[in-house]
Structure 1
C-alpha cells in the first residue's frame, strides 16, 4: 500500500508541475497576433515543396493562388521529383478562374549528398524567389482560407522574424479523431507555444505546414544550408532563427488547414514513427528516458487509480484520481479545439500507449537499418542527427 501511495504522490507531483510550470502548454489560446496595417506591404514569395502531390493539389493550391494580398506576391511550386504529374497539374490550376497570384513551377533535381528533399526544395524555391522581403513556406497539403496571407504578414510585421501556425489537421476517420488531437497536445507539451514565443527562452519550434519569415533574418542565420540535413526541418528552422536573435511566434491556426487523409491506423502510425526516433537524436538513452517518462506521466495515473481500487488503499486511489483528473483537464481544451467531445479526455492514456509503441517501432526501424522513408525516398538510418534540434531547446 505504501508503495502505491508513493507512486501516486510522484505522479500527482509531476502533473502539478506540468500544470503550473510548463508554459500553460495545454491552452489553445495562442492564436495569430493581430498587428497593424504596415505603411508598405512587403513583397512575399510563397514556396511550396511538392513531391507526388497530384491528389491533394486541386484542394489546396487554388486557395493559395486566390489569396488577395495588398502588396506584391507570387507562388513558387517546387516539384521535387514527382512522377504523378504534380508540376503539370499545378500549371493547369494556375490557369483556372479565381487565381490572383502568379505561379512558377520549378524543379531542383535530386537532392545533393547531405540534403533532405524538403530542405533542398525550399532552398531552391528561395533562390527562385529572388530579392523578396518575406518567404512563406507552406506544404502542398495545406489549404489557406481567404485573407490568410495578409493576416500572416500583418502578424509578422508586428515584430516577429518567423511566424508559424500549426495547421488544423483532419479528424474525419475514427483513428484521426483518436490520435490527431493527442498528436498536437503532445507537440505543445514538448514545445509549449508560450515558451517558444518568448524571445529570451531557449525553446524553439515551428510547424512546417505554414511558416512565414523574413528573408534577411534567414540569410543572417546562415540560410537553409545550415539545416540541410535536418529531417525535422521546421523545428530546426525555428531554432536557427532564434539562435540568430530572431523573434519567433508559434500558435494554433484558424485559417490554415491540412487536407491530408490518414484513414487507417497504419497511415498515422507511419506518419509518427518515421520521425519519432529522429526527434530523440537516435539516442538509446533518450529513448529509454522517453519510454519511462510516457509510462510515468500518462500510464501512471490510471495504474495508481486501479491499484487503489484493488487493494492499494484509499490514499493511492485519491492520488491517482487527482492526477488523472488533471491530465484529462489539460487535454480537454485540445479536444474542444478539434470539435471532439471533451468527455473523451480521460481516454488519453490509451492514445499515449499507442504513441509509446510508435516510438519503440521507430527505434526498431532505425536499429534494423530501415531509416526514414517518405514517398519513395529513404534517408539512411545511420545518418547523423548532428543538425537535428535538441527537444530541450
Structure 2
C-alpha cells in the first residue's frame, strides 16, 4: 500500500477505537440522574431525558439548605436573563443567592440589586472581594469570598454557577434531588451553550463534543471512575466535602477550574457526576469567530500543561484523526489510490456518525456533521495560537486580566 493508504488506515483504526473504546463519549444519554429507585434510573446513576423527576426528600422544612454563589465580572449584558432565573427557583427548602462582583466596570453589582428589587424571589446578597491576591485567578478569588460567606449560613449544598447561566425554575430542586438520592458530593451539568450564529453552529457543538471525547461522561459517572471532570457553569457541591477538599484554596491558580475542582473533590473521597443539561442554558452570545477563538485559546495550552512535546503530539493526533480522512479520500480519488480513498472515506463517515448525536442535542441540521474536519482544523489553530500567546507572555487573558503561567488542572 501507498504511504497515504497507511495513514488512512491508521486514522480508520483510531476511529474504530474512539467509536467503541472511549467510553461511548459520542452518546448524549448522560442526563441528570433521577432519585434512587425512581422510574428509569440506571445502576450507574445515568438517566434518560424523561427520568429527571426526583424531588428532595421530605417536606419543605426538611429540604437541605442551599446557597447559590455567582462569580460575576462585567456581566451586565447577560445578567437580566440569567439572574432572574436563579431568583425564581422553585425550591422547597431554604435557599439564597450570593453574587460576587469581581471588580466589574459595567455596573454588574448595581444591576443585580435592581433586578432583585424588580423580580423578588430568593434573597440576594451582592458583595465585592476586591482585586485578587497574588497566586489566585479572578474567578476562584471571587468563589473563595462567596463560599466563605455562604458557609456562615450553614448550607448543606453550594450551587456554583456562572453569571451567564440561566436555570429553569426546577433546576435547583432537580440538582439537589440527584445529589441526595444518589449520595453524590458533586453534581455538574454541561450547560447548553448558545447556538444562533453561523460560527456558533460550526464551533459550539464541536466544543462540547471534544470535551466529551477528552472526558467521557460514562467514565466519570462509573462507580469506579476512569476519568474526572466537571462543567464550571453549573456545579452543585456538598459543603462539607468542599471544606474537606480545601476548595477553592487548593486550586487557586487553576484556569481550567472545573476539572481541577472535580479532581480535588475526588481526592477528598467525594463522588462526582457529570452530564449534559436540559434545563440549564448559557445565554452568552459569541459575536463572530474572534470571540469564539478567544474562548478556546485562552486555556487550550494550559490544558496541555504548557508542554511543547504534548502540543506537538496533540497537533499530530488532530491531523491524523480529523484531517487525514478527507485528505485521503480526495487524494485517493484524484490519484487512483483505492485503498486510501476507501479507508479515508470510511473514517470520515464514522467521524460524522459520532458527531450526529451532539448535533441533535443542539438541534442542529445533520449536514454539519461532515464539516467536523474543518472545525477540528480551527481548534488545532486555536491550540497553536494559545501556545504562541503563552510564550509571548500573555498567558490566559480574560476580561482584562492576564495569567502569564496559569495552571491547568493539577493532579495534586
TM-score between both structures, scaled by the size of structure 1: 0.96
Out of 148, 172, 184, the residue aligned to residue 127 of structure 1 is 148
Counterpart mapping for 1:29-48 below 5 A: 29-35=29-35, 36-37=54-55, 38-39=57-58, 40-48=62-70
Counterpart mapping for 1:294-333 below 5 A: 294-333=318-357
Distance in 1 of aligned mates of 2:19 and 2:8 = 16
Corresponding residue for residue 98 of structure 2 = 76
Out of 203, 227, 236, the residue aligned to residue 203 of structure 1 is 227
Out of 129, 136, 139, the residue aligned to residue 118 of structure 1 is 139
**Residue 367 of structure 1: CA displacement?**
1.1
Corresponding residue for residue 137 of structure 1 = 160
Corresponding residue for residue 124 of structure 2 = 103
Out of 81, 86, 103, the residue aligned to residue 59 of structure 1 is 81
**Residue 384 of structure 1: CA displacement?**
5.3
**How many residues are matched?**
387
Distance in 2 of aligned mates of 1:5 and 1:223 = 50
Distance in 1 of aligned mates of 2:384 and 2:107 = 36
**Residue 388 of structure 1: CA displacement?**
2.6
Query: 1:174-206, CA deviations, whole angstroms, 9 ceiling, x for partnerless residues?
Result: 100110010110011011111111242241111
Q: Is the 1:68–1:100 Cα contact (8 Å) retained in structure 2?
A: no
> Which piece of structure 1 moves more, 100-109 or 3-12?
3-12
Helix, strand or coil for the counterpart of 1:96? helix
The structure-2 alpha-carbon separation of the partners of 1:229 and 1:339, relative to structure 1 and needing over 3 Å to count, comes to: same
**Residue 20 of structure 1: CA displacement?**
0.5
Query: 1:113-167, CA deviations, whole angstroms, 9 ceiling, x for partnerless residues?
Result: 1111111111111111122100000000011111011001101112211001111
Is 1:340 aligned with 2:364? yes
**Residue 310 of structure 1: CA displacement?**
1.8
Out of 109, 116, 134, the residue aligned to residue 87 of structure 1 is 109
Distance in 1 of aligned mates of 2:223 and 2:265 = 11
**Residue 373 of structure 1: CA displacement?**
1.2
The structure-2 alpha-carbon separation of the partners of 1:199 and 1:246, relative to structure 1 and needing over 3 Å to count, comes to: farther
Q: Is the 1:308–1:317 Cα contact (8 Å) retained in structure 2?
A: yes
CA RMSD across the alignment: 1.4
Q: Which runs of 5+ in 2 are unaligned?
A: 36-53
Is 1:243 aligned with 2:252? no
In the TM superposition, structure 1's runs of 4+ consecutive aligned residues that sit over 6 Å from their partners are none
Is 1:266 aligned with 2:287? no
Helix, strand or coil for the counterpart of 1:270? helix
> Which piece of structure 1 moves more, 299-308 or 234-243?
299-308
Distance in 2 of aligned mates of 1:290 and 1:389 = 19
Q: Is the 2:396–2:406 Cα contact (8 Å) retained in structure 1?
A: no
